Amino acid sequence: GRPTLRLRAVLCGHEGAVTAVALSLRHGRVVSGGLDRRAILWDAVRHCFLRQLGWHPGPLQSVSINQSTGDVVTLGGGDLRVYSVNGDLLAANTSLRRDMPTKAVATDCPYWQNGIIAVVGHQNGDVTLWTIDHNQPMTQIQGDPQDQEGTANVYSDDFHDAASNTIPAQFSVPKQLQLKKHLTSVHRSKITCIKIFSGQEILVGDYNGVISRWSSFRIDQLKPHEQHELLTSV
């Protein structure tokens, strides 16, 4: 007979519109992001809330799951972050705020390798590739001063101070995300979608209807000596 769809669960946790979702059946995880600046990690087997992934400085633009490790990449308010499959903050970078990122997608590169962790698209059409700087010591990132007031309903193991019921002005980031490659030759308008295939191909679409294809020997595990110019066709 014809295949049918069966409702498996309804997940409720956001206080506004949901803007991004991602699923990993292999790791049994769902991640969602919303206008309420929350990213939430869900159990895809038991269909229950697991953890809130921090408090982002703006609405979530993208959430993505590394299908190899289950790690989660989030983009919200210009902050690019990587969380473990269990929701622990692994790395972050706030310098993207001035570059107006629009989309972020996780690769399948493991966190501990010196490879590309995330691909990010920007308002001006740039595409950037990000890795984790394992030599960078733990740093403090300044929180949003506005978050200090009236945020008692936001709960996060990373950011929430249970004693004072407020969001701390600073939070610790174990590692820094580091820009590894900048692709600027094709797009001249806002990047609207990014898709990665087999760790070797990237398709990028923009607001003006242009699609580019980027190829690498191993886009998810680029080493310094492999930083050759990526091939492209539009």
pTM (two decimals) = 0.80
The pLDDT value recorded for residue 40 is 98
Residues 6+ apart with CB under 8 A from 164: none
Question: What's the chain's length in residues?
Answer: 234
Picking from 8-22, 85-99, 155-169, which range would have the lowest pLDDT averaged per residue? 155-169
Structural domain count, the chain: 1
| For residue 82, pLDDT beyond 70 | yes
Does 28 fall in a domain? yes
pLDDT at 16 over 70: yes
Question: Residue 52 maps to which CATH number?
Answer: 2.130.10.10
7 inside domain: no
3 found inside a domain = no
Could you give the percent of the chain with pLDDT greater than 90?
62
pLDDT for 139: 62
133 found inside a domain = yes
pLDDT in tens, 31-66: 999 999 999 999 999 999 999 998 899 999 999 999
**35 part of a folded domain:** yes
Is 51 strand, coil or helix? strand
Pick from 105, 153, 155, 151: nearest CA to 129: 105
In a domain, 12, yes or no: no
Highest mean pLDDT among 1-15, 57-71, 193-207: 57-71
pLDDT-derived band at 170 (thresholds 50, 70, 90) equals low
What's the pLDDT score for residue 96? 82
Q: Domain span at residue 126?
A: 18-233
Residue 2, domain member (yes or no): no
| For residue 154, pLDDT beyond 50 | no
The rounded distance, in Å, linking the Cα atoms of 140 and 163 is 20
Kindly state whether residue 9 falls inside one of the protein's structural domains: no
